[in-house]
A and B are shown apart, each in its own frame.
Chain A
Amino acid sequence: MKPAPFEYHAPGTRADALGLLAEHGDEAKALAGGQSLVPILAMRLTRFAHLVDLNRVDDLRGVTRENGTLVVGAMTRQRAMERADDVPLLVRATPLIGHFQIRNRGTVGGSLAHADPASEYPAVALALDAEFDLASAHTTRRVAAADFFLGTWTTAAEPDELLVAARFPVWGAESGFAVVEVARRHGDFAIAGAVCAVAPDRAALSLFGVASTPLRCTDAEGALLAGAPPADVAAEAVRDLAPADDIHASSATRIRLAHTVVARAVTKAREDARA
């Protein structure tokens, strides 16, 4: 299994990377950690004439705090998020991604831009109302997570645009957080997963692995904030779910598992808030 031939570019600056993407358009693909892209290339599910490797672009890496926001550079390794204490949902989601060897290479921006419907970070971003900075050679814009994920492996980013940073709101004290998922084996993609955050004055809930994008459970958030029992919040969250049958689980199984992970996440997040 080898990727089809491609031309390899290793820009040293963000400007050079964006210039290459502008020059080659949809014939080019940005290479971040490569933990999803390289298998896809190796299995010949896709091919690109040009790969733009971002691993030598230092100004895409690193984590900074801007007032109430944690700004995570796109090329920050997932492993570093295990210590992102300002955003506990990132700390809790990260160990669920693959295995530690994968997280040593995998990046935050790569996972978000890849937009696998069963991956954790997109659901965390959606629950927290995170925003993404997209840049091209000539433009920059800020897109809300709610407007970014359009479908399986499909986002609002144009071929010449790069997700350069993700901006995660920092919640205050007295908050509680949980990420719960069910997978066949540890490290596999989730069959169903839930992200939950609770605070005295707000609540957030999202699901992943149950549709072509992560889903925000707005109605269930009302019940969550009102203090409804976990099973009631879960019932509200899965009310309109209609996942397709696939090789991993039937639609009915997925709905049942979604109910289970929401109830567990609500319980854990409330315990976390009290702790």
Chain B
Amino acid sequence: MHDIEVVVNGDRTKRRVDARKTLADFVREDCALTGTHLGCEHGVCGACTVLVDGEAVRACLMFAVQVDGAEVTTVEGLGGPDGALSPVQDAFRAEHGLQCGFCTPGFVVTVTAFLRDTPNPSETEIREALSGNICRCTGYQGIVKAVQRAAGEAS
């Protein structure tokens, strides 16, 4: 077992974790933040995407012990403290960028990081950025529009 200290969605916490516990299982089981979803558990589907020190990563491909000293942001950390939706979340709702919602946390976290680094993306750049996240419901068109809306409102 390993002792780690990590800031999750702004809250500093100390935990004891098994070496093989993934970051995804850590946020879901140890931090009770079940917004991070697990689809494939081998890095393909993108549902478990979280931010580690601001960078979007697959939480199923990191171990919790590796984020000792880091800052982790999950989908729960994106909205306002009063529960208000973030601009990206709001755009997904407005443009029907989700249907069943299983993949949505991964998309929202991915898009949040993408628009921070690429504030005025072309449609090609948007599609490239979304290519690492799989959605089986929407056909993606609403998601692309949601990213365009969020980018437009931010600029």
Contacts and interface: CB of A to CB of B under 8 A. Distances in A.
B58 A53 contact: no
Contact of B63 (A8, A99, A101): A8
Q: Which of A3, A8, A99 has the most CB of B within 10 A?
A: A99
Contacts of B12: none
Interface residues of A, number: 29
B19 interface: yes
Contacts of A4: 20
Contacts, number: 76
A10 B69 CA distance: 13
B43 A38 contact: yes
Interface in B132-146: 132
B57 A1 contact: no
Nearest to A39: B42
A10 B19 CA distance: 11
B42 A101 contact: no
B115 interface: no
Contact of A102 (B19, B43, B128): B43
Q: How large is the interface on B (under 10, 10 to 19, 20 to 34, 35 or more residues)?
A: 20 to 34
B65 A39 contact: no
Interface string B110-141: 10001000000000000011011000000000
A43 B49 contact: no
A101 B58 contact: yes
A168 B81 CA distance: 49
A248 interface: no
Interface in A38-62: 38-39, 42-43, 51, 53, 55
A256 interface: no
A35 interface: yes
A101 B49 contact: yes
Interface string B97-111: 000000000000010
Contacts of A34: 61-63
Contacts of B22: 2, 38, 42
Contacts of A98: 43, 132
A121 to B, nearest CB: 18
A53 B46 contact: no
A40 to B, nearest CB: 9
Given A42-B41, A104-B56, A6 B19 contact: yes
Contacts of B65: 8, 10
A90 to B, nearest CB: 18
A187 B131 contact: yes
B55 interface: yes
A2 B57 contact: no
Interface of A: 1-8, 10, 34-35, 38-39, 42-43, 51, 53, 55, 95, 98-102, 104-105, 185-187
Interface of B: 2, 18-20, 22, 25, 41-43, 46, 49, 55-58, 60-63, 65-66, 68, 110, 114, 128-129, 131-132
Given A99-B131, A101-B46, 20 more contacts: A2-B25, A5-B19, A8-B19, A8-B65, A10-B65, A34-B63, A35-B43, A38-B62, A38-B63, A39-B43, A39-B61, A42-B60, A43-B42, A51-B19, A98-B132, A100-B114, A102-B132, A105-B58, A105-B61, A187-B132
14 contacts: A10-B65, A39-B43, A42-B42, A51-B19, A55-B66, A99-B46, A101-B46, A101-B56, A101-B57, A102-B132, A104-B55, A105-B58, A105-B62, A185-B131
Which 9 pairs across A and B sit closest by C-beta, in order of nearness?
A: A99-B132, A8-B19, A39-B42, A104-B55, A38-B61, A1-B41, A101-B56, A186-B131, A3-B20
